[in-house]
């Protein structure tokens, strides 16, 4: 990769650096990602990375936040506003279980969740991402409950949190390459749980 100042605006360079981190976390694990690895992946100098992020830990945290919130934005954009609540929830569930980057997402998520168990600053970051996932489901579940389409067996927010917890379980099956965890299996498990939790026949 070429060193020196790459072509593009500061925002473009920063985005390229952030985007370079995710595949390296998948390959090596976040604790083993080095600035020179990111520099080579992004086609920039180590000095350029330090200009934008100052420290390696700041880069890794920003990359995780950037990547994870882009996943949530992709998820939240899946339902069409004019659809009824169940159709919107089906779109959410399909987006959560059939994303083209589900394996990358699951490995990165569990890498950071493991670190969060021992590191307070990473814990806050992972909690923020988890809450963003829950909010994506809460909006649809509360709408369906208020219009009578859903008759949840627990409070709407708890139902949304339980669906996200199941997504975590599905992601674990993907991360460890469970043979049965193909797209149809993932979707069936999440949608059947949604029907049971929300009283949808």
Q: Summarize pLDDT for 41-94 with one digit per residue, the tens.
A: 999 999 999 999 999 999 999 999 999 999 999 999 999 989 999 999 999 999
109 burial level (CB within 10 Å; 0-12, 13-18, 19+): buried
- Neighbouring CB atoms inside 10 A of 92's CB total 24
Residue 179 phi, psi dihedral angles, 5° rounding? -60, -35
Residue 7 DSSP one-character state:
S
Q: Is the pLDDT of residue 6 over 80?
A: no
Residue 198, C-beta contacts closer than 8 angstroms, at least 6 positions apart? 89, 141, 144, 145, 150, 151, 152, 153, 159
pLDDT tens for each residue of 146-164? 999 999 999 999 999 999 9
Which residue from 71, 75, 57 is spatially nearest to 21, judged by alpha carbons? Answer: 57
Q: Answer for the pair 88, 140: CB distance below 8 angstroms, yes or no.
A: yes
Domains and CATH numbers, the chain: 1-54 (1.10.10.60), 67-198 (1.10.357.10)
Distances (CA, A) of 76 to 81, 100, 157, 166, 169: 11, 16, 16, 17, 20
DSSP H or E run through 87: helix 85-98
User: Smallest Cα–Cα separation from 77: which of 136, 134, 130?
Assistant: 136
Mean pLDDT of 7-13: 73
Q: Does 112 score more than 50 pLDDT?
A: yes
Q: Which residue has the tokens 């083993």?
A: 32
Asked if residues 45 and 65 have their Cβ atoms less than 8 Å apart, the reply is no
* Residue 74 to residue 171: CA distance in whole angstroms: 16
């Amino acid at each position: 990769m070429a060193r020196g100042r790459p072509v593009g605006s500061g925002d473009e360079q920063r985005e390229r650096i952030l985007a370079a981190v995710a595949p390296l976390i998948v390959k090596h694990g976040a604790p083993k990602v080095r600035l020179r690895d990111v520099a080579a992946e992004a086609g920039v100098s180590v000095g350029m990375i330090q200009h934008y992020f100052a420290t390696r830990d700041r880069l890794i945290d920003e990359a995780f936040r950037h990547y994870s919130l882009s996943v949530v934005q992709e998820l939240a954009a899946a339902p069409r506003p004019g659809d009824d609540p169940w159709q919107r929830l089906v779109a959410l569930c399909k987006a959560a279980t059939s994303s083209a980057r589900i394996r990358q997402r699951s490995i990165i998520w569990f890498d950071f969740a493991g670190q969060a168990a021992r590191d307070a600053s990473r814990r806050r970051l992972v909690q923020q991402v988890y809450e963003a996932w829950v909010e994506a489901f809460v909006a649809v579940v509360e709408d369906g409950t208020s219009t009578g389409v859903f008759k949840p067996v627990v409070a709407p927010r708890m139902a949304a949190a339980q669906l996200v917890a199941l997504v975590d379980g599905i992601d674990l099956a993907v991360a460890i390459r469970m043979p049965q965890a193909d797209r149809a299996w993932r979707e069936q498990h999440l949608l059947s749980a949604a029907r049971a939790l929300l009283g949808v026949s």
